[in-house]
Chain A
């Protein structure tokens, strides 16, 4: 190592340096093999990329890459099938839980998860979500709640807070026009088909670690065939909210978490 540093100081041989850096013994951090090398299409600062990495890491650590089938949604994460190094199906908008049902019923030994935004899961796909949950499908739903339709340019989502501005609620969401923010995870948690429901976030390193543990737990419950597990992850949408990444994480903590409190909502009751 020392010789390399000396060499670069004297005469920078980039090629040699690169070769040296990628030597197995010199690598200090590697991207998980659960992700591909494709560059993510997410805005810098957005939580989607973090959650992708967590899922990839969990699949790698549990050594289940060959046993996972992922279902991508329609939304910002529509290209998830190019980011996960997994066999993946891309579902129509909102239909991921139904597609996952078709996969899991015919491939019962595989881990099956859907990755969905709030518009996908809690608006157009509400029916599919509730019934997959009620049937106790042995699948995991990773639900990214950013309070907005990110992909289509920041329109109001079912999860948009009261008074929160979006391109289709430019004066703020009004209760008597648009109704209230929908808290779908709490709504489906009491269903007997749901074994595990939790709400996490990825706005601080500590929360990122907790979110990862929750994803792992959900996959473990799936292996034990306990029923449907849902991991809601609160995420910023700095572009949609028109803030910097730092501002948006602060705003989320101060505003979103009151409506969507973090923590386990339901955990399996062992008999």
Chain B
């Protein structure tokens, strides 16, 4: 199935309660698939609603998540920009939810072809205030599928929004997917959720305002402590031929798929090239990358942007070894060959 369809199918099967979306290329298949499958009436009882805007959609997610429901939305770059206000509120209110960005070339309306230029927005903030999203970056259709359930699991474990940062290529490509059995939708809702105040408990409130500055600072400290636990426990990455590597590519999403071929071509030429793929972009697997960088002659950050993840790579590597950046942008997809040409030219410098 298509990467976007995998997201939709995973949502139904993992027992998601509600999806709120707004059409935008290259991710409209998610909403279309859900509408066609009609899970609301036929399969799982899931709510599927086309909102009037991405702003409305993310706020619908806020409402449903505040009731302790598994709620999600998806969009592509320009629409994700509109969701930033809502994401800041959801993070501040410590609500669990899943957001999918099948990103395209930017800035502005940009291009509808794949892009990875929303890295900063995803991992550094995007909305206002000190908050973090847990960011998962799939590079196969299978991972698109698997990360939906994983995303909800992490979202509820930490009461935090989770972002799947995909791209137009992974969203549109077709691959085989191993599906999981249909899960039941959960009937017991968390104790903090707004489900109607019964006489046996205090009222539940979902809010993000703290007029007293010290109360707000304490809330921020609590959030930061939570983020630290996430950093200690949820780092995910994949290594490919790093054991004997003299040079390492760092890439995620579609770039990492392309670089698999680059590595094959390089190895045929006798160049010992490997790859380190961050799966969680936040928390970024900086410690592992730091260790790896001690033993190599150079690191190449390869991404479909004008240079965003490379900053985190440089921070992780801490001058252990030179870090070089290669990128294409605007929706242009790089070839494995051009990446190899770049690497060879850098090696010969």
A residues within 8 Å of B by Cβ? 36, 65-69, 71-72, 78-79, 81-82, 84-92, 95, 98-107, 110, 127-128, 130-131
Asked whether B86 is an interface residue with its Cβ less than 8 Å from the other chain, the reply is yes
Q: Are B208 and A95 in contact (CB under 8 A)?
A: no
When A and B form their complex, which 8 residue pairs have the shortest distance between CB atoms, in order from nearest? A102-B63, A102-B60, A98-B59, A87-B194, A90-B207, A99-B63, A131-B52, A102-B64
Q: Are A102 and B195 in contact (CB under 8 A)?
A: no
How far, in Å, is B155 (CB) from chain A's closest CB? 15
Contacts A102-B71, A105-B64 given; indicate if A89 touches B197 (C-beta within 8 A).
no
| Residue of A88, A95, A99, A131 most packed against chain B (CB within 10 A) | A99
Q: A87-B203, A95-B55, A106-B69 are in contact. List 10 more A-B contacts (CB 8 A).
A: A68-B196, A87-B197, A98-B59, A98-B62, A101-B56, A102-B18, A102-B60, A105-B49, A107-B196, A110-B195
Q: Are B52 and A102 in contact (CB under 8 A)?
A: no
CB contact list, B200-230 vs A, under 8 A: 203-209
CB contact list, B77-129 vs A, under 8 A: 85-86, 89, 93
Give bound CA distance, A128 to B63, whole Å. 13
Q: Are B203 and A67 in contact (CB under 8 A)?
A: no
Give bound CA distance, A226 to B26, whole Å. 37
Q: Are B206 and A89 in contact (CB under 8 A)?
A: yes
Q: Are B209 and A78 in contact (CB under 8 A)?
A: yes
Asked whether B53 is an interface residue with its Cβ less than 8 Å from the other chain, the reply is yes
Contacts A85-B203, A127-B53 given; indicate if A69 touches B194 (C-beta within 8 A).
yes
Number of interface residues of B (CB under 8 A): 39
Q: Are A105 and B62 in contact (CB under 8 A)?
A: no
How far, in Å, is B67 (CB) from chain A's closest CB? 5
Q: Are A107 and B67 in contact (CB under 8 A)?
A: yes
Q: Are B85 and A92 in contact (CB under 8 A)?
A: yes
B residues within 8 Å of A by Cβ? 17-18, 20, 47, 49, 51-53, 55-57, 59-67, 69, 71, 85-86, 89, 93, 194-199, 203-209
Q: Are B63 and A103 in contact (CB under 8 A)?
A: yes
Q: Are B64 and A90 in contact (CB under 8 A)?
A: no
* Residues of chain A lying within 8 A (CB to CB) of residue B66: 89, 99, 102-103
Q: Are B209 and A128 in contact (CB under 8 A)?
A: no
| Number of A-B residue pairs having CB atoms within 8 Å of each other in the complex | 133
* Residues of chain B lying within 8 A (CB to CB) of residue A90: 93, 205-209
Contacts A69-B196, A102-B63, A102-B71 given; indicate if A131 touches B56 (C-beta within 8 A).
yes
* Residues of chain B lying within 8 A (CB to CB) of residue A72: 207
How far, in Å, is B152 (CB) from chain A's closest CB? 15
Contacts A89-B62, A103-B67, A110-B196 given; indicate if A81 touches B205 (C-beta within 8 A).
yes
Contacts A98-B63, A102-B59 given; indicate if A92 touches B86 (C-beta within 8 A).
yes
Give bound CA distance, A65 to B202, whole Å. 12
Q: Are B56 and A127 in contact (CB under 8 A)?
A: yes
Give bound CA distance, A101 to B52, whole Å. 12
How far, in Å, is B86 (CB) from chain A's closest CB? 7
How far, in Å, is B278 (CB) from chain A's closest CB? 31
Q: Are B63 and A71 in contact (CB under 8 A)?
A: yes
Q: Are B198 and A89 in contact (CB under 8 A)?
A: no
How far, in Å, is B2 (CB) from chain A's closest CB? 27
A sample of 22 cross-chain residue pairs with beta-carbon separation below 8 angstroms, ordered by A number, consists of A69-B194, A69-B195, A69-B196, A87-B196, A87-B197, A88-B203, A88-B206, A89-B63, A89-B194, A90-B93, A90-B205, A98-B55, A98-B60, A100-B63, A102-B64, A104-B63, A105-B47, A105-B60, A107-B67, A107-B195, A127-B55, A131-B51
Q: Are A86 and B56 in contact (CB under 8 A)?
A: no
- A65's closest neighbor in chain B, by CB? B197
- B60's closest neighbor in chain A, by CB? A102
Give bound CA distance, A115 to B52, whole Å. 21
- A68's closest neighbor in chain B, by CB? B196
How far, in Å, is B48 (CB) from chain A's closest CB? 9
- B70's closest neighbor in chain A, by CB? A106
Give bound CA distance, A107 to B17, whole Å. 10
- B20's closest neighbor in chain A, by CB? A102
How far, in Å, is B51 (CB) from chain A's closest CB? 7
Q: Are A102 and B61 in contact (CB under 8 A)?
A: yes
Give bound CA distance, A100 to B86, whole Å. 14
- B95's closest neighbor in chain A, by CB? A89
Give bound CA distance, A106 to B71, whole Å. 9
- B56's closest neighbor in chain A, by CB? A98
How far, in Å, is A207 (CB) from chain B's closest CB? 29
Give bound CA distance, A5 to B62, whole Å. 55
Q: Are A106 and B67 in contact (CB under 8 A)?
A: yes
- B46's closest neighbor in chain A, by CB? A106
Q: Are B197 and A95 in contact (CB under 8 A)?
A: no
Contacts A103-B66, A103-B194, A106-B67 given; indicate if A98 touches B208 (C-beta within 8 A).
no
Q: Are B49 and A99 in contact (CB under 8 A)?
A: no
* Residues of chain B lying within 8 A (CB to CB) of residue A100: 63
How far, in Å, is A79 (CB) from chain B's closest CB? 8
| Residue of A69, A72, A100 most packed against chain B (CB within 10 A) | A69
Give bound CA distance, A128 to B54, whole Å. 11
Give bound CA distance, A236 to B128, whole Å. 34
How far, in Å, is A37 (CB) from chain B's closest CB? 12
Give bound CA distance, A101 to B66, whole Å. 12
Contacts A88-B203, A88-B205, A103-B67 given; indicate if A67 touches B196 (C-beta within 8 A).
yes
Q: Are B203 and A91 in contact (CB under 8 A)?
A: no
How far, in Å, is A264 (CB) from chain B's closest CB? 27
How far, in Å, is B188 (CB) from chain A's closest CB? 14
* Residues of chain B lying within 8 A (CB to CB) of residue A85: 197, 203
